Amino acid sequence: GAGVSQSPSNKVTEKGKDVELRCDPISGHTALYWYRQSLGQGLEFLIYFQGNSAPDKSGLPSDRFSAERTGGSVSTLTIQRTQQEDSAVYLCASSPQGQSIQPQHFGDGTRLSIL
């Protein structure tokens, strides 16, 4: 079956521009997560959506970062006024429920490069 899909796979933009990254989770998965991975580093948690509950935004690094999840399915991560330190791979994951017994399934990420 279809896995987690992220688009675009690569994005190059100029410093100061806004970018939107899209995540299509696995159908029926109610939990959705965004992570960031800088070159050679581990994953950094950004935000977590579970059903209709208020999202856990505790990992967002600044107010330039925001995310939405419409209709409990597709999610968009928006970065405003991009900076060079925002360059990283942005990974999305989904799971059937936001409980530890359910493993997360990851997409292959969006590689964001800020010039």
Partner 1 sequence: DAKTTQPPSMDCAEGRAANLPCNHSTISGNEYVYWYRQIHSQGPQYIIHGLKNNETNEMASLIITEDRKSSTLILPHATLRDTAVYYCIVTEYDMRFGAGTRLTVKP
Binding stretches for partner 1 (CB under 8 A): 4, 31, 33, 35, 41-45, 48, 56, 91, 93, 98-101, 103-109
Neighbours of 29 (CB within 10 A): 19
- 82: exposed, middle or buried (Cβ count in 10 Å: 0-12, 13-18, 19+): buried
- Least distance CB 115 / partner 1 (angstroms): 21
Give the closest residue to 93 by CA, choosing from 102, 105, 103.
Answer: 105
- Least distance CB 113 / partner 1 (angstroms): 14
Nearer to partner 1, 37 or 80 (CB): 37
- Least distance CB 105 / partner 1 (angstroms): 7
Nearer to partner 1, 1 or 14 (CB): 1
Neighbours of 79 (CB within 10 A): 24
Nearer to partner 1, 15 or 45 (CB): 45
Beta-sheet pairing, 105-106 with 110-114: unpaired
Neighbours of 109 (CB within 10 A): 20
- Least distance CB 91 / partner 1 (angstroms): 5
Nearer to partner 1, 55 or 72 (CB): 55
